[in-house]
Amino acid sequence: MRSDGSWRLIAVARGASPAPALLVLSELLTNAICHARVSPGRQVETRYRCIGDGVRIEVHDASDERPILSVAR
C-alpha cells in the first residue's frame, strides 16, 4: 500500500490517531485485490473525505461484477 500523508493530516487536524483509518483502508484494499477478479494492470481506486468528526473511506475495484454477499462463518 502506498503511504499517503493526507491521512496523517486529516487525523492530526482532528486530534486523532490515523491508525484506525489506515487499518480500515488496508482491509478494504486487501479485499478488493483478493476478491475482485480483475485483469492484471487494472487499478483499485480509493477516496476519502472528512465528514463531521469522521472520515469516509471508499475503495472501488475495476471488476464489472457486483459483489456476492456470503454468510459469515
Of 69, 71, 59, nearest in space to 33 by CA? 59
**Overall pTM > 0.85:** no
Ordered by start, the domain boundaries in the chain are 5-60
* Span 13-47, pLDDT tens digits: 567 777 787 888 888 888 888 877 767 777 888 88
Residue type, 10: I
Distance CA 57, CA 67 (A): 18
Distance CA 14, CA 27 (A): 22
